[in-house]
């Protein structure tokens, strides 16, 4: 039935059209969110670079490395994993790529006969690991969209507690690093123990030795023990910000291709619709012509019939 | 000769400017920095940081724990929380002070409530100097 086909096509075009509107809106929202997240990441940079500066000063002051957060044990028996994903989906391969890398690491840990503890940030990671019966030590939601420093502090406190109480000997952080609008990369990094002060200082680009000697208040050790927890927080905060920027960039890309696909589909469907309509018209004409000819056989006045045909067609 | 001041919190740069004198409070007590101070690193406690700017005005900032680093006439203050005196919501500070005092009255020892009281008092102190 040609008419029926037309109707179904029209209905499909409408539904694709409304899907397209939704994905377009999500794309635009994600685009503004990426910019916001990037700005936040930039705004957070002075603090962390200043913190590295203080660490350089401490290294120059020759602080003894005696802090639980710097404890590096030779024999690692349990590894903590912090996995940062988003709460919401529709962000392309963003969540699955982070989760896949993290799971690979966890499996490697298990085959080495070591235990693991999972600290999950974001609903997607929680859903995934819970469904597969992993032991989840702690999970956090509602912070990955626009992470605040307070969020980082809460997660960092948990991670620190695990590490300082020696429940885990190492902490690995898995998240998606934001390199540019077009490039994001999964990063699986050692988070704790912190590298020794000297390594941090040299990574910071400062030449600690040439610096003047510092006065410390209350003492170099006192400053260090107050500084290290904040250093952990600040690193976690920048990871969260990176993850959030990556999430929005991924979502924007995913939604852009969805919108493009919808457009393509609409073009295809409207071509099919046009053909179906043309088919219907042609069939109708054929029927009319056929009918007229059948009538015309018994009649003398052929020209009259012609006129009638033409009027029918123009309708 | 002046000091270059940078006061940052984890989320943003709160204040930047040139100053003649800056007074902060570390765990050992109040300390003032003038140009050509020796390199210094200290733990900040919740207090009001006062900055005498090069143009003669005074900037007051409520800070809640962090660090101060001085080197080469460059003062960097890293604060967990920092608020410019003019940005502080007085009503909110007063309410949180009252709330914290109430919760301290019901519970005999609560370090959280005490910290909240201290924070609110620092905020109000910063505003009082305006």
Secondary structure (DSSP) of B14-27: EEEEEEEEEEEEET
Which residues of chain B make contact with A214, given a CB cutoff of 8 A? 38-41, 71
pTM: 0.82
A166 phi and psi, to 5 degrees? 65, 20
How far is CA A211 from each of CA A51, A226, A280, B61, rounded to the nearest angstrom?
16, 22, 87, 30
pLDDT at A300: 52
Question: What is the distance between the alpha carbons of residues A302 and A266, in angstroms, rounded to a whole number?
Answer: 46
Return the percentage of chain A with pLDDT > 70, whole number: 86
pLDDT at A122: 93
Among all residues of chain A, which has the CA nearest to that of B7?
A: A47
Looking at the predicted structure, is the pLDDT value of residue A162 above 70? yes
Instruction: List the beta strands (DSSP E) in A193-295.
Output: 215-217
pLDDT band for position A281 (cuts 50, 70, 90): very high
Token representation of residue A258? 């969805």
Which residues of chain A make contact with B12, given a CB cutoff of 8 A? 43-44
> Lowest mean pLDDT: which of A35-44, A143-152, A174-183, B80-89?
B80-89
Over the stretch B29-67, which tens digit does the pLDDT of each residue have? 899 999 989 888 899 998 899 999 988 888 999 998 889
Angle in degrees, 0-180, between the axes of helices A220-296 and A149-164, rounded to the nearest 10: 120
Using CB atoms, which residue from B8, B38, B67 is nearest to A223?
Answer: B67
Among A202, A54, A64, smallest CA distance to B43 is for A54
pLDDT at A299: 54
pLDDT band for position A1 (cuts 50, 70, 90): very low
Question: What is the distance between the alpha carbons of residues B49 and B3, in angstroms, rounded to a whole number?
Answer: 15
Question: What is the distance between the alpha carbons of residues B130 and B119, in angstroms, rounded to a whole number?
Answer: 18
Token representation of residue A293? 């000819």
pLDDT band for position A248 (cuts 50, 70, 90): very high
pLDDT band for position B94 (cuts 50, 70, 90): confident
Any idea which architecture A29-255 has in CATH?
Answer: 3-Layer(aba) Sandwich (3.40)
Using CB atoms, which residue from B27, B41, B66 is nearest to A57?
Answer: B41
Among A199, A237, A206, A41, smallest CA distance to B69 is for A206
Looking at the predicted structure, is the pLDDT value of residue A152 above 60? yes
Contact A215 B11 (CB under 8 A): no
Question: What is the distance between the alpha carbons of residues A14 and A163, in angstroms, rounded to a whole number?
Answer: 56
User: Would you tell me which residues 81-120 of chain B have a C-beta closer than 8 angstroms to some C-beta of chain A?
Assistant: none
Over the stretch A76-102, which tens digit does the pLDDT of each residue have? 889 999 999 999 888 889 999 999 999
Q: How far is B106 from chain A (nearest CA, A)?
A: 26
pLDDT at A131: 94
Which residues of chain A make contact with B38, given a CB cutoff of 8 A? 212, 214-215
Question: What is the distance between the alpha carbons of residues B107 and B88, in angstroms, rounded to a whole number?
Answer: 28
**Mean pLDDT, range B97-120, rounded to an integer:** 78
Contact B42 A217 (CB under 8 A): yes
Q: What is the mean pLDDT of chain A?
A: 85
Return the percentage of chain B with pLDDT > 70, whole number: 98
The strand pair at B47-53 and B13-26 is best described as: antiparallel
Q: Could you tell me how many residues make up chain A?
A: 315
> What are the residues whose beta carbons fall under 8 Å from the beta carbon of B1, sequence distance 6 or more?
B35, B36, B73
> What are the residues whose beta carbons fall under 8 Å from the beta carbon of B74, sequence distance 6 or more?
B3, B4, B6
Count of other CB atoms within 10 angstroms of residue B55:
9
Q: Are B79 and B7 in contact (CB under 8 A)?
A: yes
Looking at the predicted structure, is the pLDDT value of residue A105 above 50? yes
Token representation of residue A9? 């096509």
**Mean pLDDT, range B79-84, rounded to an integer:** 89
Cβ-based burial of A71 (10 A; exposed 0-12, middle 13-18, buried ≥19): middle
Q: Where are the domains of chain A?
A: 29-255
Fold observed for domain B3-85: ATP Synthase; domain 1 (2.60.15)
Looking at the predicted structure, is the pLDDT value of residue A202 above 80? no
Cβ-based burial of A86 (10 A; exposed 0-12, middle 13-18, buried ≥19): buried
Among A111, A243, A114, smallest CA distance to A174 is for A243
Contact A218 B78 (CB under 8 A): no
Q: Are B77 and B68 in contact (CB under 8 A)?
A: yes
**Mean pLDDT, range B17-38, rounded to an integer:** 91
Among all residues of chain A, which has the CA nearest to that of B14?
A: A43
């Amino acid at each position: 039935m040609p008419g029926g086909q037309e109707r179904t096509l029209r209905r499909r075009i409408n539904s694709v059209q409304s899907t397209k509107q939704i994905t377009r809106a999500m794309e635009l929202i994600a685009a503004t969110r990426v910019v916001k997240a990037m700005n936040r990441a930039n705004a957070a940079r002075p603090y962390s670079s200043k913190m590295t500066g203080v660490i350089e000063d401490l290294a120059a002051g020759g602080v003894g490395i005696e802090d639980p957060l710097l404890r590096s044990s030779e024999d690692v028996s349990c590894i903590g994993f912090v996995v940062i994903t988003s709460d919401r989906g529709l962000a392309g391969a963003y969540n699955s790529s982070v989760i896949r890398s993290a799971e690979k690491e966890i499996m490697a840990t298990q085959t080495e006969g070591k235990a693991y503890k999972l600290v999950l940030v974001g609903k997607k990671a929680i859903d995934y690991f819970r469904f597969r019966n992993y032991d989840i030590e702690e999970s956090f939601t509602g912070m990955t969209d626009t992470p605040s420093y307070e969020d980082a502090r809460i997660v960092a406190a948990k991670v620190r507690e695990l590490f300082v109480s020696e429940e885990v000997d190492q902490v690995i952080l898995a998240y998606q690093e934001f390199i540019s609008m077009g490039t994001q990369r999964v990063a699986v990094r050692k988070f704790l123990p912190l590298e020794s002060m000297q390594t941090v200082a040299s990574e910071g680009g400062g030449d600690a030795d040439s610096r003047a000697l510092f006065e410390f208040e209350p003492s170099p050790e006192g400053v260090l023990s107050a500084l290290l927890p904040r250093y952990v927080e600040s690193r976690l905060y920048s990871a969260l910000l990176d993850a959030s920027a990556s999430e929005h960039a991924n979502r924007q890309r995913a939604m852009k291709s969805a919108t493009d696909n919808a457009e393509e589909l609409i073009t295809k469907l409207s071509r099919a619709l046009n053909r179906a309509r043309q088919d219907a018209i042609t069939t109708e004409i054929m029927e009319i012509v056929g009918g007229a000819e059948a009538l015309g056989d018994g009649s003398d006045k052929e020209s009259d019939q012609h006129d009638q045909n033409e009027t029918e067609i123009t309708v | 000769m002046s000091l270059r001041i940078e006061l940052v919190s984890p989320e943003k740069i709160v204040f930047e400017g040139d100053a003649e004198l800056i007074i902060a409070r570390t765990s050992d007590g109040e300390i003032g920095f003038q140009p050509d101070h020796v390199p210094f690193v200290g733990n900040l406690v919740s207090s009001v940081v006062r900055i005498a700017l090069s143009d003669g005005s005074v900037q007051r900032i409520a800070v809640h724990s962090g660090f101060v680093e001085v080197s080469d006439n460059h003062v960097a203050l890293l604060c967990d929380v920092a608020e410019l005196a003019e940005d502080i919501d007085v009503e909110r500070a007063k309410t949180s002070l009252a709330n914290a005092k109430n919760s301290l009255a019901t519970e005999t020892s609560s370090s959280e409530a005490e910290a909240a009281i201290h924070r609110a008092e620092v905020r109000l102190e910063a505003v009082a100097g305006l």
